[in-house]
Structure 1
Amino acid sequence: MTPRPAPAQPFEAPSWHMPGPWVLRMILVAVCAMVLAGAGAAWHVSQVSGQEAMRRVVAQQTDEVEVIARLLASKMEQSQKVLRTMAAGVTPRMQDSSFFDDQRQYLALPALGFFDAVQVVGSDGAMLLNLRGGRPVAAASLEPAERDVLRRTLADGKPQVSELVAGGTGDARVTFTMPMHREDGSVLGAVGGALKLQSQSLLPPSMALPERDDSRLVVFSRDGTILSHSDPTRVLGNVRDEAGLSAVYAQWLQQAQPLVGRGITQVMPDHIVSMAGMPLPQWVVARVSYSRALLAPLAGAQRDAWWTVAGVLGAGAALLVLLLGWMAQPLARLRLAAQQLLQGDTQGPVQWPRVRGEVGDLVQALERLARQGSQHAEQQSTLGSQFQAILDHASVGIVITRHGVLEVVGRQTCLMLGYTPAELQGKPARTIYASSEEYARAGARVQAEFAVHGAFDGDVCFMRKDGSPVWARVQGRGVGAGSIDGGTVWILEDITAAREAQQQKAWETEHDALTQLFNRAAFDERLGALLAERATRLRDNGAAPHAAAAGECVVLFMDLDHFTVVNDLAGHDAGDDALRHVARLLESQVRQLGWAARVGGDEFAVVLPGCALARGQAVAEQLRQAVQAWAPSYQGSSFTLSMSIGLVALDASMQDVASVLYAADMACYDAKRAGRNRVQTGRAREASASGRVALGPA
């Protein structure tokens, strides 16, 4: 008998197979790429974070000094308003009589207790009253600087602010002066009020708090005298002795760069210096920070982050080697399986091609597996259902178009546009646009983008079935590379809510948050554009540089009379409510004729384009009467408000916003001098020729 052959032993593959040389090279390349990419990303993040931290510090300091400068400027303006009220209470009869000889009489002057020292002089310069701390003192006690500012007020007839009157730190003070006028406009005398430098009404010591080791807040005059400092011992010193600030101050003096209305920040090797100025007096607010101290936490965090990145990269590289080795196991097993399959299906020796490594073995196995074509049919049968599942479950809209027809429309696209799939499938792409013109413009954009970039990526406005617009972020790629002739695949993402939020943000930057009127910046921009348009029209018509253009535009400048009474007696909430109500009155009156803006605390402006002078005067009178007729009641008390209005009709001599506002402001000032609650018409050309600016920064 022929002996029976022994049964073949089953093939037992080892649990781990060493990858071939090609896979090992790929693992080495992947590890190197991961380490380089991680180190590069960490370095980039470190640089960007440092720059972003510095940008935020600069922006924060700049905003801080601007806010403090505006706060101090408002304090100066409040002091002048108080002094103006006192000046209005002094009449010629008081100077001619023995009024100032009786302490009980002059102590009744309004707002007398607001100032640390008060002086009243006649038109001849004679001292009528000199109080300090509420008590009369000799005229000889006045400092030369105080005498000089009173003389300049009598000579010029305008409010003045003195330079710093320096004594000791506790005696340093600033004097505000205000002229007193007779009914004919001549100077009756002058009133002066002094505030101590460190008083709550001027520069309280708490302004520089809290103290910080890495930063100093300094207020100084143009000549470098320190008025306020985080270190009280530095008050009345000089900024030339301040580390970091001295170099920036010297550079600023040399360049004569104006600081009023804006802040500047200069980054130095060891310091970050931010400065902002005030118009009157010429004081500067500065914040000096030690950059290294500010950024020290970031530097420490970056060092810790580098060590963390190094550890993560090391662990990641080890894990990547193991992961790629594990992922390569199917390929290694496939090699062994191919060897086993070939050895089991053949009789006798097999001639293998001379191919090194696992690639040759894989080629042989694939040649045998290629004969098994039955799998192709199964793959093809499932392809359609998989594609439909993608369309139905994708989180974004998907559309495939060919020659302007919607061939495939996904479920999310239908939900976005309010259609059913049957209503869009096979329909022209024009269906989802508001008009043929919109469709043509969108098509031109697509053609241009594909011509340059080979793809499209942009925002497009479509039309829903109900006629409402919907904005989508659209990304388009050709089915064929870089071409749309063979069809285009579009991905749509609804961004309607985001665009509405952007539009709302743009509205907020142009409007005053309290009154909802245009703010000062928007007012300047719109009025500037109007002036530029008028100048262009006159130039095109061949008009002379100063030719009259009467009747084309009227500008009103309005200031509420006695508004501080509401704030003082009823509180700031009541004052805010009054401002909102006045804003609504202005808006309702001028909506059809022009536009209104809030340009200051209780100051408003109205522009009436295409309005004749007579019509503008009538509108101004209507506004005045509307405010006068309103009698608000707060906390059980009734108040009466009125409005002084300055009006100016523009002519060709008005070339910029500043000259227009100056003319209107001067007219408003004349209205107040004439008794308030009235409309005063100013002459634009004379005001423009003076070259002065009416208002400070918004």
Structure 2
Amino acid sequence: MPGPLALRLAALLIGAALVAGAASGWIATRAAADEALQRVMRQQGDEVQTLARVFASKIEQSQKVLRTVAAGITPAMLDAPSSLEWLLQQGLPAVQFFDAMQVARADGTLRVNLQYGVQGEAAALEPAEREALRRTLIDGKPVVSELAGNRAGDARVMFTQPLHGADGSISGVVAGAIRLQSQGLLPASIAPPEQSGSRLVVFASDGTILSHPDPRRVLGKVSDEPGLAQAYQAMSAQNDAAAAPGRTEVVPGYVVSLASMPLPQWTVARVSEVQSLLAPLEGTQRRAWWLAVLAVGLTAVLGALLSLWQMQPLARLRERAWGMAHHGEFDDSVAPAPGWGDEVGTLAQLLDGFMQERSGQALRDGALSGSLQAILDHAPVGIVITRAGRLSMLGRQAAQMLGYTTDELIGQPVRTLYASDAAWTQGEERARAAFVAHGAFDGDLCFARKDGSPVWARVQGRAAEAPGMSAGIVWILEELTAVHEARRQRRHERLHDPVTGLPDRRAFEERLRGVLLGRDESVAAQGEALCGVVMYLDLDHFTVVNDIAGHTAGDDVLEHVARLLEAQVRQAGWVARLGGDEFVVVLPNCSAAHGMAVAEQLRAAVRAWEPVYGGRSFTLGVSIGLVPLTAQLRDVAAVLHAADMACYEAKRAGRNCVVMPVGRLDPVVTEHEALSNK
């Protein structure tokens, strides 16, 4: 039978399932409503933008028809009203597209005013129509007028088109007016059927309603429209009535979609009640709630029964613990109490007995570990023991060598001893290969002290328990940092100039070969314009310093010039000394134009420095030959030869200048020929 803990857990599972089901149902309902609302908003926004494009096409069609009419009116007709009136009434079929037609001369005199095919008086024109005619005569551009007429049946819009004479000047204007509700402008049939709780409205930039499902609202104000008034206020405040092609937003109780028509500055709006949009979902949501309640209830009951069945092993464990205590396998002080107590409490008492039995073993293991640590601390060499990629134990000598205390390293990953992941991976691969081949490791490795400085050590590793990297391994470390530093210093001295500290000719050639080898990849990635440049520098008047101030002063000049050149190009390239007073500068990723600018900076910096020796100041200069690292220069010798020849041209040009060859470089210069020329 299940115990009290199992029954409590079953009750808790049922309660949690009910709460989770209710929360999930509420969240799902809200998410479905939000998704449905978003879908309706997208559909409504698309519909409004489509209607705005259709209405805009109507405007454009009206303008095209008016342009056809204007093309049929000649300047001579403006002086013959009768012929002009005949043309507009019978001669041009396109005139029938408009409800009213007007033609005026350039001086503003109205020649024809046809109202529904009947000649009318000039005074019958509305102020908005007169303003449209005047603007067209002044600006010479077509105009769509503001709304004219103060009754819904008479409300109309005027389209104007300038008339041009033979010389291109404005000779007059022709205008056509169309009623709002006509087929040529805003026909009611073009809009989709109205939906319950939704209405389609077209209004002008000043808020005047041009089209509405309720004819009585035409020529009313948008500010009186529920839902649309708030959206219109926000749009007016942002002054973006004609800026955005479309927008859909939710105002309290309504979803409003707006789309603008830029030329007449009208706006098409669809206003829908949120409650009406979500009404179809209410029945579905109620059915979903009942189904969710039924599903959650069944799931909770089945889960409770399953949990009781799964808890049977725990009940059997409790009985087993009581039986072990009953047969004297534990002391009375730690034995579990009989009966139907809490299962976990019974097992906890049982585990306490195990822990007490193991505590004696732990004390013995601790004493043994302490003895081993004492041996490691007093060993004359650094000893480290690793297990499963972690530092299990290490002696004081090894910790001091690495700049840590013993406690800081015990338990840390072996990766802690390396400066980077790449160095750690390389060391691990070397050790693994050595253990596979020889069963041990013996070699030099570079570690990183706690302060980040490198430390070299000779490392010997042996398996402590079983062969293979997975077992514990004992490592013996002997520091070799001083030996490696001496080797590095000797190599540095072989490849660097002793006077300036710069790379010498041999180091320069090795490094430039690497640049030339990587040139193809650089050209493929960045283009040949950024393939790099090489500058050959020869100091001007350096022998004067040597002859007058002595070789010590000359060496000081060379060292100062080296520091000056390094400071100028440190971020973009590097400097080397070829010998004597000759230097070379390499800018690997640099265009020829930028290289010329850098060379000019170097020349100016050397020229501006005036050293003083023995109370006398000296003026120096530098002649610079610059060559781009194009595909014509195939090897180091070819580059040096081209740069040397450019520097020679700089000397011939009067010294203290920069020269870059402008002709095609000779691509067949060999290393032997370049060295012989040198």
Q: Shorter-chain TM-score: which interval?
A: 0.3 to 0.5
**Under a length normalisation based on structure 2, what TM-score does the superposition of the two structures give?**
0.46
